[in-house]
Structure formats: C-alpha cells, structure tokens
Amino acid sequence: MSIIVRIPSPLRRFTDSQATVEVSAKTVQDALSAVILKYQDLRFHLYGDDGELRNFVNVYVGENDIRQLKGMDTPLTDGDEVLIIPSIAGGKENGPIFEREEYLRYSRHFSLPEIGLEGQKKLKQASVLVVGVGGLGCPVAIYLAAAGVGRIGLVDFDVVDLSNLQRQILYSSKDVGKPKLRIARERLEGINPKVQVAAHEEPFSSVNAVQILAGYDLVIDGTDNFPTRYLVNDVSVFQGKPNVYGSIFRFEGQVSIFHAKEGPCYRCLYATPPPPGLVPSCAEGGVLGVLPGIVGSLQAAEAIKWITGIGDPLIGRLLLFDALSMTFREVRLEKNDDCVVCGKNPTIVEPIDYEGFCGVSGTAETVNVPEIDVHEVKQKLDRGDDVTILDVREQWEWQIAHLDEAHFIPMNSIPSRLDELSPSGEIVVHCHSGKRSASITEYLIKQGYTDVKSMAGGIRAWTIEVDPSLNLY
Ligand SMILES: [Zn+2]
C-alpha cells in the first residue's frame, strides 16, 4: 500500500530536503517506522527516550489528528497522506524544533520551568534589533546570541577604536581599525552558530529606520546620542514595538522598557533633549568600563523576559543604578496624554529631522562657528601673535596633554570666568576634537566677543599634525 508521508520544513534537513517520502505501510506506526528506517536521524526528533511520539509532534492522516482516530494504530489505505506537524497541543504549527546540539546548548534554559522548551522556542522565533554596538550593544548582543534569539540585527557603522576596548567586549586589540559589525558578527556566530546575525552597516536615520525596524519584533537602544535615541523611540512607537532602553554616564545607568501600547515612551519621560553641550558625551564625561556591562546585561534580561513572557517587565518603571554606592532605585513613569508621539493626539507620526530637533546641526539660532586650522595656530604662536589659546577641556585631559601656551578654563566654568578673557582680543578655543570648542566659540560670540575661532580637530589634530610628542588620547 503506497502512503505519502509529508515532512515539515524544519525536519527536511534529515530527509535530504525531501518534502514527501513514499512508503509502504498499513498503519501510521508502520509508515513512520518506514520513514525512520530510511532517514535514521529523524528518530530523535520524532520520538522521546520512552519510545513515544514527542509531545510537540502531532501526526495527521489527511485532515484528522490521529489522536482523534486510533493513534499510532490508525489504519491507512492506498494513497493516504500522513502529515507530521511539529506543534503544541492543538495541531497548529508552532515554529522550530531544535537540532540535537541545541538540546545540550540550551539545557540550562530547558530546566527552568519558566522558560523550558516553549520559552526557548519563542527565543528562537524572535528577532531583535540592536541599535549601536558599543558599550551597551556588545553585552546585549552577546547574551541574546548565547540565549538563542533566532535573529539579531545590528546597526552601527563605526570602526573599532583603541579607546573602545575599555568596555566594548566584542572587540579585541587586533580588531582596532576594522569595521565593528564585521567583528561583532564573527564573534556572535562563534558564540552561537544557530543564530542569524544581520549587519546593517549604516547610520540609523530618518531615512532607513522605519524599514529596518519593520523586520524585527523589538528594539534595543544602545545609542550614545540624543538624535538617535529619539529616533529609536519614535519608530518603535509608530510600529507598536517595545524599546528596551539603557543609558550610561560616568558611574550611573538607567534602564526601562518603553512600550507605548502599555506604558509611557521615552518622550513621555523627556519631552525635549537637553541643549547641546549641557550633557557631555561619554567621551567627554567618561564612563566606568564595567558600567555598560551591567546596564547592557539588564537590557538583555528584559528582552529575554519580554520574548518569553515571564516576570514583570520594566514598563512604566525607570531603574536607576549607581555603581559608586552600588544601589538600585526605581521610579514610576507615567504616560503623558499630551505626548507628541504616543499621546491622545499625536502630532509626530513619521520620522522627523532629529539632528535639528536636538539642536545638533544648524537651527535658526545657531551662528556659523569660525574655525582655524592647527597649522595656522602653530604659525600664529611661532610669530608670537597676541592670541589667547583657550583650552576648555577637563582637568584630567589637561594632565594627559596640553599646549604650554594655553589658558585653561573647563567649559562649564566659562560663564563664571568670562572676566579672564578680553572681549576684543583674539581667542582660539580648543578641546579634544573640536565639538566642545565649537559650542564655546558660539557662546562667546553671542556674548559679544569679536575675534573667536574654534581650532578644528582639537588637540587630537594638533598632536597628529603638529606635535607628535604629546600624548594622543
Ligand atoms: Zn510618549
């Protein structure tokens, strides 16, 4: 009697990709035995150690579940079709089952009743987008890959810098100068070859964000700047997806889940960004190397909990961590009904110009900041021009390297120490790479200073191009 056995796609790798196997059999039992005789690796996937069909494997004859017939003894007639359907009870197809190696790999999850086989399947079916593969993104991506999240998308376009290695644990010294995503992908696939890693090697921007996030179930915010943070928030609200938020500064971190369907979004918490220059970046303000490891791990834990549906998510709660006092605090976050993206009458329904919104690039109030090249500064000093070199960096930076001629006033002290600067004299402002000096130059011009310029590229450019004897940092 000729019977067709239909093999579900996850099991076809054990049947030389055959979707159907023709056997001769009088009962379902005979038919499955005949298939296993032909493709022996299937046995483990269909039967448990007790010789019974695994409880997530259902078998149908035609349209009928054999449990409603005579089970494995259900008789077959010529031309019958036997369908193998991996499932939970109910006969609905329920995604992947695991390869032999994965049973051991995830055994510590399987033995947690809260996760178990079903939770692990959810992880395998899940897809997570990690925006920014730096301090936060590294531990997040490592733990998600290790946990068996089926598809992980990475967004970044940086190359590995020596100063990253103090905290960005996907990268090694030999990777300096190489694209981060290439290294990250290799490392993650090395940790778990069962996960798919997609590299989006481009800035996450208003142009591509909607399209990129559309392919994922949730997003993890590993960004280090306000424009991208607001963009991640807004797009996750548009698409109704949770945004697992983390941020770090010096010794402190914050974690939450912004999921506008059930709670507040990031804009409910911070309707507008701080003015540029008020909050220093991690490069300027510093960050304890282990801090993103802790905060990123908390984000990964929240993502895994959300995917598997266990525990209490950090929705509507902001977790505050302080590494110096080694304390966690929690504050409640309320949804803002007037929120421009997730409130009752949202006015922002598609990505906006986030650089402009955060004042990072030109807005009406900014002035064009005059710049001066490091070589020109050198000439001025060599000629003995009457010029004030104003160093606006922090004390620790001054100690690493400085120009002997410079007048040192950290940027936050400038407003209270203006009397040290002559309004009509020539001033060249410098910092590490040119950002802080640009905002101080702008500030001084608005205060009425007439001859102020920002040294392009900062002391970094000076060290590389003019005086390599200084320490580069
Ligand atoms: Zn909101």
Based on the fold, state whether residues 151 and 296 are members of the same structural domain. yes
User: What's the structural domain count of the chain?
Assistant: 3
Asked if 345 and 380 sit in the same domain, the reply is: no
C-alpha 198 – ligand 1 centre gap (Å): 29
pLDDT tens sequence across 312-367: 999 999 999 999 999 999 989 999 999 999 999 999 988 988 887 877 654 334 45
Which pLDDT score, from 0 to 100, does residue 364 have? 38
Look over the chain and give the mean of its residue pLDDT values, rounded to a whole number. Answer: 90
Residues 21-28 have a mean pLDDT of 93
Distance 351 CA to ligand 1 centre (A): 14
Measured CA angle at 173 (ends 167, 174), to 5 deg: 145
Which of helix, strand or coil describes residue 165? coil
**Same domain, residue pair 187 and 211:** yes
List residues with catalytic annotation.
Answer: 282, 431
Distance 220 CA to ligand 1 centre (A): 17
Measured distance CA(350)–CA(209) in Å, rounded: 10
pLDDT at 90 (0 to 100): 40
Supply the pLDDT for residue 54: 80
Distance 403 CA to ligand 1 centre (A): 47
Residue ranges with strand state E in 156-313: 196-200, 218-221, 243-249, 252-258
**Pairwise CA distance, residues 265 & 348, whole Å:** 13
DSSP SS3 for 454 = strand
Residues 138 and 69 in one domain: no
Tell how far the Cα of 341 is from the centroid of ligand 1, in angstroms.
6
Confidence at residue 5, expressed as pLDDT on a 0 to 100 scale: 93
Could you list the residue range(s) of the whole structural domain that residue 74 is in? 2-86
Mean pLDDT of 77-97: 68
- Domain presence at residue 18: yes
| Co-location of 136 and 77 in the same domain | no
The pLDDT confidence band at residue 53, using thresholds 50, 70 and 90, is: confident
Question: Measured in angstroms, how far is the CA atom of residue 335 from the centroid of ligand 1?
Answer: 6
